[in-house]
């Protein structure tokens, strides 16, 4: 062996150490990768759509949910606010609008050039409006009306003089020449001056957008094609011919989506939409992409209701808000240019629960909704031993639909905020008398093809029975009503998903309606999960989401 002054060759020693270091780094990387995969991995059906995207989403949602719990224990932050913030990120919605701003927002084309218009409601009947024509920045390469929406919305709301229209050119492409962009802007200004007789101010803002992130090789998460989305504040896919505005009805905030073709109509087909989110999450902002798509695809007036949520408010605050809005629209339909004979109630999850409860209430009071569209609705809080609960509650769907959060929501729904224990999962919140009375309405052995019997007529926990009695009332469990009441329902459009704790109650509801020969359209998505239809745009979007929205909208349109 070669030595230098009695020492082994130092170059070989260095090379040997480098080899060992590389091997160590490689083993560490492999180990961390294996650990990450083991933490993220969860078994899914073979035909589950985009399984690894779902696994990553569930893992991170669950992790941050746990961080929220820990942070709340040491008084660092409110867990509910963490969950809501994560929900906003998940659906990519930071486009906050306020009904007090009284702005109508809609897209249209002028001289075949796309513009977005922000029109204060106070100018609805004015012939001349002061106007700002806005041309977005971005170095002639970046920016679009979506990425500037927050700026131009604020400009329309905050400009000292009344602002009618904030308009932007949207002809940005790699091949468009500079003079073409300049001509677009000049044509817009000339048209506004000559045709509308407005006075003009031009405002300029500069803000980086992702419109050409793919072109700039910044990230493969983004696309400069359709659908477009904006990572920084919202994932929107806007179309022409829809006017969107927020307002208050009976002091309750709603967002209204009005097809332009109904501008001069006295009676419009209408969908009243109640968002989901377990009475805890969700709002008109996080559902904007869903309700916008529904309005565009159904070409109906869509009214999205912003109801009060837990934990700030307890049961029946959400139901009261949605009931007030719905009854107002039925009783005074003409005031809102609504065709009272063509009103459909719709909602998903908790929103589906509200839609069915209110439909039943309307029928008792002599009103006739056209249909009810229920997307994986929560229909009963009587039996938590149904196969889908026992199978999927431990699976931690989307990282947040799990036992801990499920029990927490029930606690928050109560006025006294009692601690709801795991006893509820064994139906110990119901008395022996209630079990005997209500079992026929949710009989898994009768209505489900596969049943995991867990029948018990034992008396439940006295405190739970007393504090959670509202859960098994028809106002919270619309499935727990007689066949006579179900037989009065209008046509029902029902969607269920396989990967869902609410799957079985949806099937039981469908089977009960079939036995009564009721008009029912039931479609089961066999390869997807609860909440999938929300994930339409953005880097965590799922291909199945827009398919679901199109299917839902098509059936609503057919029944309007």
For every one of its 560 residues, what pLDDT tens digit does the chain have, with 9 covering 90 and above?
A: 555 555 556 666 565 655 656 666 666 666 555 555 555 667 777 777 777 777 777 777 777 777 777 777 777 777 777 777 766 666 555 455 666 667 888 787 787 787 888 888 777 777 777 788 888 776 666 667 776 777 777 777 776 433 333 344 444 333 344 445 555 555 555 554 444 433 333 332 223 233 333 333 333 323 333 333 333 333 344 555 788 888 999 999 999 999 988 888 889 999 999 999 999 988 888 898 899 999 999 999 999 999 999 999 999 999 999 999 999 999 999 999 999 999 999 999 999 999 999 999 999 999 999 999 999 999 999 999 999 999 999 888 876 788 888 998 999 999 888 889 999 999 999 999 999 999 999 999 899 987 666 666 677 788 899 999 999 999 999 999 999 999 999 999 999 999 999 999 999 999 999 999 999 999 999 999 999 999 887 667 888 998 999 999 999 999 99
**What torsion, rounded to 10 degrees, do the Cα atoms 85, 86, 87, 93 define?**
70
Instruction: Say if 101-203 and 242-395+474-559 have the same CATH topology.
Output: yes
**Nearest Cα to Cα of residue 409 among 401, 466, 61, 437:** 401
C-beta neighbour count of 202 within 10 angstroms: 10
Compute the distance between CA of residue 239 and CA of residue 428 in angstroms, rounded to an integer: 50
- Residue 375 and residue 351: Cα distance in Å, rounded? 8
Q: Among this protein's residues, is 253 annotated catalytic?
A: no
Catalytic entry in 349, 388, 411, 541 = 349
| For the chain, domain boundaries | 101-203, 242-395+474-559
Q: How far is residue 388 CA from its own chain's centroid?
A: 23
Under DSSP, is residue 486 helix (H, G, I), strand (E, B) or coil? Answer: helix
First CA to last CA across the chain, in angstroms? 90
The CATH code of domain 242-395+474-559 reads 3.40.50.1820
CATH 2.70.98.60 fits 101-203, yes or no: no
d(CA 470, CA 474): 9
**Nearest-angstrom CA–CA distance, 378 and 403:** 16
- C-alpha to C-alpha distances, 222 to 61, 68, 136, 263, 422, nearest whole angstrom: 21, 29, 20, 36, 43
Q: What is the pTM of this model?
A: 0.73
Contacts of 115 (CB under 8 A, 6+ apart): 107, 108, 109, 145, 165, 167, 168, 170, 188
Q: What residues does 270 pair with on adjacent strands?
A: 301, 343
d(CA 514, CA 352): 19
């Amino acid at each position: 062996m070669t030595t230098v002054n009695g020492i082994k060759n130092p170059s070989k020693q260095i090379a040997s150490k480098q080899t060992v270091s590389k091997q160590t780094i490689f083993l560490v990387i492999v180990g961390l990768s294996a650990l990450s995969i083991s933490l993220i991995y969860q078994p899914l059906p073979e035909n589950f759509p985009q399984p690894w995207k779902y696994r990553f989403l569930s893992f991170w949602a669950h992790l941050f949910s746990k961080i929220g719990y820990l942070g709340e224990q040491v008084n660092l932050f409110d867990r509910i606010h963490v969950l809501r913030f994560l929900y906003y990120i998940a659906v990519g919605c930071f486009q906050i609008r306020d009904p007090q701003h009284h702005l109508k927002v809609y897209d249209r084309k002028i001289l075949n050039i796309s513009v977005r218009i922000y029109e204060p409601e106070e100018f609805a009947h004015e012939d001349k409006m002061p106007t700002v024509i806005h041309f977005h920045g971005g170095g002639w390469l970046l920016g679009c009306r979506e990425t500037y929406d927050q700026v131009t919305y604020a400009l329309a709301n905050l400009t000292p003089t009344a602002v009618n229209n904030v308009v932007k050119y949207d002809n940005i492409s790699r091949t468009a020449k500079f003079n073409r962009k300049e001509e677009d802007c000049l044509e817009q200004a000339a048209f506004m001056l000559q045709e509308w007789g407005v006075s003009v101010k031009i405002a300029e803002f500069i803000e980086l957008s992702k419109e050409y992130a793919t072109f700039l090789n910044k990230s493969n998460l983004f696309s400069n094609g359709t659908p477009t989305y904006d990572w920084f504040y919202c994932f929107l896919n806007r179309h022409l011919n829809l006017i969107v505005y927020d307002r208050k009805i009976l002091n309750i905030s709603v967002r209204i989506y009005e097809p332009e073709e109904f501008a001069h109509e006295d009676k419009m087909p209408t969908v009243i939409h109640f968002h989901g989110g377990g009475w805890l999450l969700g709002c008109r902002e996080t559902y904007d992409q869903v309700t916008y798509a529904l309005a565009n695809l159904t070409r109906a007036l869509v009214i999205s209701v912003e109801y009060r949520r837990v934990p700030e408010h307890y049961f029946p605050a959400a139901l009261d808000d949605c009931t007030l809005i719905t009854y107002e629209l039925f009783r005074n339909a003409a005031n809102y240019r609504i065709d009272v004979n063509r009103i459909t109630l719709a909602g998903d999850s908790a929103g589906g629960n509200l839609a069915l409860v209110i439909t039943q209430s309307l029928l008792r009071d002599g009103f006739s909704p056209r249909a009810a569209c229920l997307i994986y609705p929560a229909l009963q809080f009587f039996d938590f031993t149904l196969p889908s609960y026992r199978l999927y509650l431990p699976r931690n769907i989307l990282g947040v639909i799990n036992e801990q959060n499920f029990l927490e929501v029930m606690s928050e729904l109560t006025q006294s905020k009692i601690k709801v224990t795991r006893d509820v999962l064994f139906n110990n919140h119901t008395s022996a008398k209630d079990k005997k009375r209500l079992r026929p309405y949710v009989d898994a052995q009768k209505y489900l093809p596969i049943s995991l019997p867990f029948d018990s007529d034992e008396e439940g926990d006295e405190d739970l029975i007393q504090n959670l009695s509202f859960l098994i009332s028809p106002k919270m469990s619309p499935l727990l009503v007689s066949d006579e009441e179900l037989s009065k329902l209008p046509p029902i459009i029902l969607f269920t998903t396989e990967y869902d704790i609410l799957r079985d109650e949806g099937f039981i509801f469908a089977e009960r309606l079939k036995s009564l020969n009721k008009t029912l359209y039931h479609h089961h998505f066999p390869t997807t999960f609860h909440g999938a239809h929300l994930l339409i745009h953005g880097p965590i979007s799922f291909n199945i989401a827009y398919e679901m929205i199109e299917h839902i909208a098509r059936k609503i349109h057919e029944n309007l």
